[in-house]
Amino acid sequence: MSHLQGGNYDHINLTRYQRTLGVIIFALGSSWNDTVAQSMAIATFSFACIFFALESNDQLHSVFSRQTLESHKLIQMCGWSLLLVFIVTQLDFTHRLFATTDLAVGQWVICMVFGSLVLWTTEIEKFFRRRAEASSSAELETVPVQAVA
């Protein structure tokens, strides 16, 4: 199964919004100004979307499997997305367009950590999904087949 077939990802969307809101509140509560908070929110939400795209490649297999690397179009699009996140938050002409500002290394790390929470929660969910599938298939193999007379 791949590409969100039959999956309910409302909880993932909620997680993305919560993490982005958490970064905004954190940035506003610190000594950083509103523009830094907005830039961090854009970066965090973008990272969460990129990580979710990687996770959506397959509902059962880990994002850290070879299967993810074999999806060339997905990797290419994630690379372009990362480039755009960098451009929007780092180049002067985009600062005027998007009301963003340069982020320091520590701020980038905060954005990546909060954005990656989507990845880690989904990986945990996939781990249990794989275990459940393995145990159900093992049960099917151990049930004796009765001959029909």
- The domains of the chain are located at 10-142
Q: Are the CB atoms for 55 and 1 separated by under 8 Å?
A: no
CA distances from 3 to 8, 53, 55, 61, 104 (A): 12, 9, 9, 12, 35
Task: Measure the CA–CA gap between 28 and 67, rounded to whole angstroms.
Answer: 40
Q: How far apart are the first and last CA of the chain?
A: 38
How far is Cα 100 from Cα 57, in angstroms, rounded to an integer? 31
Per DSSP, helices labelled H in 1-149 are 10-29, 34-55, 66-69, 72-90, 92-98, 105-142
Task: Indicate whether this model's pTM tops 0.95.
Answer: no
Neighbours of 107 (CB within 10 A): 22
Tally of residues, the chain:
149
Q: What is the pLDDT along the chain (149 residues), one digit of tens a residue?
A: 444 444 555 555 566 666 666 776 766 667 778 888 889 888 998 998 899 888 888 877 888 888 877 888 989 999 999 999 999 999 999 998 988 999 999 999 999 998 888 888 888 888 888 888 877 776 666 655 565 55
